Amino acid sequence: MPLTNISRWILYAVLLLACLPAQARIFTFTAIPDVDETRLIERFTQVAEYLSQQLAIEVRYLPVKSYPAAVTAFRNNQVQLAWFGGLTGVQARRLLPGSKAIAQGEEDQYFKSYFIAHSSTGLTLAEQLPAGIKGMTFSFGSKSSTSGRLMPEFYLRQQFQQTPEQLFSRVGFSGNHSRTIALVQSGAYQLGAVNYKAWEQQLRDGSINPNRVSVIWTTPAYPDYQWTVRGDVDAEWGQGFTEQLTRALLAMKDPALLDAFPRSAFVSASNADYTAILETAKAIGLID
Amino acid sequence: MSTLATNWPRYQLPRSLLGFLGLIAIAVICSLFADISVITRTPWHEFQQMLLGASTPALPPPALLAQAVLQTLAFAVVAVTLSAVAGFILSLMFAHRAVRIFCAVIRAVHELFWGLLVILLLGFHPLTGILAIAIPFSGIFAKVFAEIQEEARQTSPGNSLKQADSFSNFLYARWPLVKPHFSTYTLYRLECGLRSSTILGFIGLPTLGFYLESGFMQGDYSLVAGLLLLLYLLIGSIRYWAKLPLLPIYAVIASLYLWQPLSIEWSLLGNLLVDLTPAPIKQSSLDFLPWLLAIGRQEVLPGVINTLLISQIALAASGILALIFFPLVSQQFTPYWLRLTGHLLLVILRSTPELIIAFILLLLWGPSMLPAIAALAIHNGAIVGHLVGRYSNDIKLRRDAGRGFNRYSYEILPRVYRQFLAFLCYRWEVIIRESAILGLLGVHTLGFYIDNAFESFRLDVAILLIAITALMNIAVDSFSRWFRHRLHLQSSATARTPC
């Protein structure tokens, strides 16, 4: 019977696939794409070399594009360490119990977002968002960005007791901070919310025209980016590996390496530092 | 008196013309309800940057670039070859309703979403890229191959070979008739494959799109310009390097190049199944119905309405654009050197990712459905224009046939018209699927909500919304089948789908 033959071969193939030995893992990390993606690979490859020296094992950097893809790679053990944003870190640690936030940037302890506006709105820097923003058009950054979406939305809801869709005539998701700035500067959207570091970097680069777009409000401080490691790395790379890794991250002092993030230094962090982010995400309905 | 009246010649609009006018009428009605507005403030600075970038194209470092080009080609070649084979097998069973529905479902989902689903299981393995393209393409191949065979069956000498068994009938009577069509279609699909494989870079596979998206997202327009030029070159040159007999050879080489040991972790399959379980069932509460109703009210209903509004208007606009575009690349109208320019224009319009077109239009017009509609219309109009132009080349005109506009309206248009409508019907599904990726405009299509669900790891919601999209696709598919049969459209030689 030819059919039985075929099914037998399929069975063999499936068994063969299932029995393929898992190869020895190379310690791999990723970073969510955020600021200055174009030189991401180059810069993070240097970070991989640094970690490899410090830990005396092979370390590889896996470039990842989208936020959910970064979280998925972490959960699927394709990467064991990740430089996550506040929200993506919370999502990852919820999906993979046992994983730990181990270090954050000096600046991430008190991160903030800027609300920016096109000059035609006539808005200027103020202590509070003016009621006049109702009915304007507004752009967030990426949907899962802490500084470009989660916290700005949280403060909008807190002040106006409305969802962004109720508050504004149109709400867009530009994809990242640089696009938000370009769209607000061109007046395509009247308002936007961006990561303050991204704004300041572009201000230095000269790609922002202060006559066209300006900061109208700064959010209160909140915790953001952090290094998160899988809970099972000690089992694979030996007792105490997590501590060793944490020490290596905290000891990173070379400005060329720190520029990849860009941060001035790393300090230690724990899951508890991000409880506020988790609660905010729940309040907004991004996490059940 | 009465006999006279019944014998009176009555003028009747041709049915097919009515069909297209009907589509336009629907689009006009839709545009009354669509959210369309134009607000231009100060886009010129950004346009200046774009022009500056276009005049100083740049590329990533050679090693990375070489890898990106090879990966883009390899994914496309392997995926198109696999899906041509799978699509052919499926097309033989296309008489079964279940097979047709299966194919409509797998092609209803955008490559990017297939990519995100497969990543969950396989991670960033090359197989992820191959499957993300090959799964929807198999559905498309199956449909087109089935229609080509249907045409052949009506004309085939096999009808006089009734005694022969079905296999011999196929081999001797039908295969010779359909083979050239299969071959041209497969090569056309390769172009679509290259585009899809580029787009997969947007979610992190190491193709050209990876760097294209980085450049675009950072406003590095020199990089964008360089990579787009390269993409145009790859797509424009397909006819010189791609031949059907070479395709399997390319596919083998590409598979060897892409090959990486695959170790599936079966625990991931468990994760996936848990993720796909609807939230209320997971929490074993009894709120399944309220959960379903809430999604229905907040996401499905607005999603379906917006998707329909956008796609109906974009469909009619694509048709009008295609009628304008096709003479640019048709031998019937345009001399060789000018036609090259026309080809260049259409390659640019159909290969520039819609995301980028939409962004430019968003800068110009501000957020509304308009940039989304225009981006879809430009992309699809250029594809239909290209296909109709190529089809028109086969028409043999009399020596004394009219020239210019007379030739266009009295000689060529009536002869390509049905074909044009057939192409347009094919694009319908595609437009619905592609409206998914324009979330940056703040337009809440079904795709926008699917993307939301992926971003917040609500796979249960994502699958539900994908199922709704698939249902819409099945409806559109059967409607366009009915429409085509009613208009007696021939889906012959060049009647090809979409990508």
CB nearest to B455's CB, from A76, A144, A172? A144
At residue B494, the pLDDT reads 42
Instruction: For chain B, give every domain's residue range.
Output: 14-38+283-499, 60-264
Pick the CATH number of B60-264 from 1.25.40.20, 1.10.3720.10, 3.40.50.880, 1.20.140.10: 1.10.3720.10
At residue B110, the pLDDT reads 87
| Topology alike, domains B14-38+283-499 and B60-264 | yes
ipTM over the 0.90 cut-off: no
| Structural domains in chain A (count) | 2
Domain final position from A218, A234, A265: A218
Domain span holding position A49: 24-109+223-284
Average pLDDT over residues B155-168: 66
Residues A197 and A138 in one domain: yes
- Cβ-based contacts under 8 A for chains A and B: 150
What is the residue type of A211?
A: N
Residues A212 and A263 in one domain: no
Q: Which residues 6-65 of chain A have a CB within 8 Å of chain B?
A: 17-18, 20-23, 33, 36-38, 40-41, 62-65
Asked whether residue A145 is assigned to any structural domain, the reply reads yes
Residues A120 and A157 in one domain: yes
Q: What is the CATH number of the domain that holds A68?
A: 3.40.190.10
At residue B4, the pLDDT reads 52
Task: Give the separation between CA B435 and CA B112, rounded to whole angstroms.
Answer: 12
Residues A49 and A99 in one domain: yes
Chain A residues with beta carbon closer than 8 angstroms to that of B455: 67-68, 143-144
- Express each pLDDT in A59-112 by its tens digit: 999 888 888 888 988 998 989 999 999 999 999 999 999 999 999 999 999 999
Task: Give the separation between CA B477 and CA B479, rounded to whole angstroms.
Answer: 5
A73 in reach of chain B (CB within 8 A)? yes
Structural tokens at position B26 = 């629907």
Asked whether residue A117 is assigned to any structural domain, the reply reads yes
Residues A95 and A230 in one domain: yes
Q: Which residues contact A192 (CB under 8 A, 6 or more apart)?
A: A115, A116, A117, A138, A139, A140, A141, A174, A180, A181, A183, A184
B231/B390: higher pLDDT:
B231
Residues A124 and A210 in one domain: yes
What is the residue type of B52?
A: L
Residues A206 and A126 in one domain: yes
At residue B402, the pLDDT reads 84
Residues A70 and A132 in one domain: no
Structural tokens at position B470 = 């698939």
When mean pLDDT is compared over A191-200, B18-27, B253-262, the highest value belongs to A191-200
Asked if A80 and A62 touch (Cβ cutoff 8 Å), the reply is: no
Instruction: Find the closest chain B residue to A211 by CA distance.
Output: B42
Q: Tell me whether residues A69 and B367 touch, CB distance under 8 A.
A: no
Average pLDDT over residues A232-258: 94
Residues A263 and A280 in one domain: yes
B182/A51: higher pLDDT:
A51
Q: Tell me whether residues A18 and B454 touch, CB distance under 8 A.
A: no
Task: Give the separation between CA A66 and CA A84, rounded to whole angstroms.
Answer: 12
Domain final position from A196, A218, A240: A218
Chain B residues with beta carbon closer than 8 angstroms to that of A122: none
Mean pLDDT of all residues in chain A? 90
Work out whether the CA dihedral B252, B253, B256, B258 comes out positive or negative. Answer: negative
Q: Tell me whether residues B366 and A178 touch, CB distance under 8 A.
A: no
CB nearest to A188's CB, from B201, B206, B363? B363
Chain B residues with beta carbon closer than 8 angstroms to that of A40: 214
A209 in reach of chain B (CB within 8 A)? yes
Sort A159 into a burial class: Cβ within 10 Å, 0-12 / 13-18 / 19+.
middle
| CATH architecture assignment, domain B14-38+283-499 | Orthogonal Bundle (1.10)
Task: Give the separation between CA B198 and CA B224, rounded to whole angstroms.
Answer: 13
Residue B496 has pLDDT above 50, yes or no: no
Residues A239 and A204 in one domain: no
Residues A127 and A105 in one domain: no
At residue A11, the pLDDT reads 55
Shortest Cα distance, chain A CAs vs residue B460, angstroms: 13
Chain A residues with beta carbon closer than 8 angstroms to that of B63: none
Domain final position from A218, A245, A267: A218
Task: Give the separation between CA B466 and CA A192, rounded to whole angstroms.
Answer: 30
Residue B254 has pLDDT above 80, yes or no: yes
When mean pLDDT is compared over A253-257, B93-97, B321-325, B336-340, the highest value belongs to B321-325
Starting from the edge strand earliest in sequence, which strands make up the sheet with A137-140, in order?
A170-173, A137-140, A191-195, A113-118, A213-218
Shortest Cα distance, chain B CAs vs residue A207, angstroms: 9
Residues A34 and A101 in one domain: yes
